[in-house]
Structure formats: C-alpha cells, structure tokens
Amino acid sequence: MLDLNSGRGDFAALLGNNAPTNTPFSPATINGNVLSSSAMAGNGLADTHIHGTTVIAVKYKDGVINVGDRRATGGMAIMYDKAEKVLALDDYTLMAISGAFSKAMDIVRYLRHAFKYYERSQLQPMSLDGKLSELGKVIAGNQMAAMQGIGVVIPVLSLFDQQANEGRIFFYDAGGARFETAEFGAAGSGSTQIRGVFEYIAREKGPFREMDRDTALRQALLLLEIAADLDAATGGAGKILPLAKTITADGIEDVEESTLRSMVGEILSKEPLSVGPQR
C-alpha cells in the first residue's frame, strides 16, 4: 500500500524499474539563485529511456512564470517533441521537471493525490511548508535508486504564497535538499549553458521580480532559445512552441498561444547569422 505520509520506501517500490537513468550534478548558485543540470548516465539504459531537458522559472511583479522546451530525449535520439514539463500540482503550485520523465510523471501523480488527500481528510489545504517537505521526502526516498542508475528527477517548484502575497521559487537537488531562489531557477541539460545569462539580464535590465509579465516572459523565452542553441538535447522554438504558464494570486494560467507565437517570432528574427568563409 502507498503510504501518503512518508512518501519514501513504498513510493520508491511503486516506481520500480520503469524510470529512465540520469546522473545528478550538485546544484550551482549565482547570488543565491540555484540552478542545476542533469546528464545521461554512461550505460546502456540511457539510450532507451526518455528524459526531459530544460525548464526555467522566473519571478515577475505579479508572481512566477514557468517555461519549458517540449523535447524529450532518449540517449542521442529525439523521442518526443510535445512533452509537458510544467505541470500543476494544485491551484497555486507548479512543478517544472527535468531528468527521468516517467519517474517525474509518477511523482506528479503522487503529489496531486497527496495534496488532495490531505485537504479532504484535514478539511484544509496543505501548508506551504508541508508541500515543500512532501516533495523533498519523495526525492530523498528515491536517492539510493537514483545512485544505482534507475533515474533521478530535478524539479523546480513554483508557488504563490497567499500569506506573503508573492510568487516563490524552490529548487531541489537529487538528495531532496531544497533551496529558495531569489529571482530565478532552471534545471535540465541546458541550464548550465545559460547560467551567466540570468545574471546578465538582471544586471542590465533590472530584477526579474520588478518586470511586468510580458517583459519577464520575453526574457525567459530568450533564455530558453539560447539554451537550445547551446545544448543539443534542448528543443528550439522554431518547430514547436515552448510551454509557458504563470502563477499569481488568481491561480495558474497558460500563456496565450498568440502571445507566445509573437514573442518567439521576434526572438528568432533577431538570432545572429553564422559567419564563415565564403565559398
């Protein structure tokens, strides 16, 4: 039976050997903003399992924006180009996932059930700290399996804190330790390549948390496109539009497709041309 309170041994047993393989990296930080990357393990399993790639979360003045590419890879192959990697856990909580895709889906299903079970049994929503701890337990419970090559999930959790009336972003490492980021967070294979760009944008254009939605969204999409240019596993926006969701005091909303298409078109039109010898 699945133990909704512990989220540890029984949950790991539930997942079994069906998840893909990742090798965790330690989180990197820039001025208190935590970013990380996950990479394929060097064994045969990595070639047959599906991995999510790059996800980004940035604050803005009304809450948090999450964006993610749509690509899922298996080894060197593109397995799927319409993956959903930014998922709602409840009305005010989003989880952006990178790493072992099938295991991430199991974690999302478990957390949705755990949050709803708590609300119905206790007649009140689970607290912010309770939600954060529940996800930490699940990740920690999977640590040994991840170290043995079964798979690891590196999530970025975004939520709207109704008491503080602000959006907040939390990052977890492969051991279940959590960090609150100051303004932005990213995970996945493309996050390493764009580390410094976050800091550049914040210094040149001002803090993300002071931007309006469209300004922050444009910067997040630009970061994702740079990641796609520099990381083979991250899908670009030229073929499939990225996923983008906001979370505010009014809850979770999808960014309009027309807005995404317009911003992506503008970003792609300004990409630098390759310069090489003329033939």
Q: Give the pLDDT of residue 81.
A: 77
Distance CA 147, CA 30 (A): 26
What CATH number does residue 216 fall under? 3.60.20.10
Q: What is the pLDDT of residues 32-90, one digit of tens each?
A: 444 443 333 333 333 445 666 789 999 999 999 999 988 877 766 777 778 888 999 99
The overall average pLDDT reported for the chain is 79
Domain-embedded: residue 86: yes
Q: Give the pLDDT of residue 214.
A: 97
Q: CA quadruple 105, 34, 185, 24: dihedral positive or negative?
A: negative
Q: What is the pLDDT of residues 127-146, one digit of tens each?
A: 999 999 999 999 888 777 66
Say if strands 93-100 and 72-74 run parallel, antiparallel, or are unpaired. Answer: unpaired
Q: Give the pLDDT of residue 51.
A: 66
Domain-embedded: residue 205: yes
Confidence of residue 210 (pLDDT cuts 50, 70, 90): very high
pTM summary value = 0.77
Residues with Cβ < 8 Å from 48, sequence gap 6 or more?
A: 74, 75
Q: Give the pLDDT of residue 94.
A: 97
Distance CA 3, CA 72 (A): 30
Total number of domains constituting the chain: 1
Q: Give the pLDDT of residue 238.
A: 75
Domain-embedded: residue 257: no
Domain-embedded: residue 262: no
128-141 and 101-122 are packed helices; what angle lies between their axes, rounded to 10 degrees? 140
Domain-embedded: residue 206: yes
Residue 53 annotated to the active site: yes
Q: Domain of 208?
A: 9-193+200-236+244-250
Domain-embedded: residue 255: no
Domain-embedded: residue 269: no
- Annotated active-site residue in 21, 23, 29, 53: 53
Distance CA 89, CA 113 (A): 9
Domain-embedded: residue 53: yes
Q: What is the mean pLDDT of residues 90-110?
A: 89
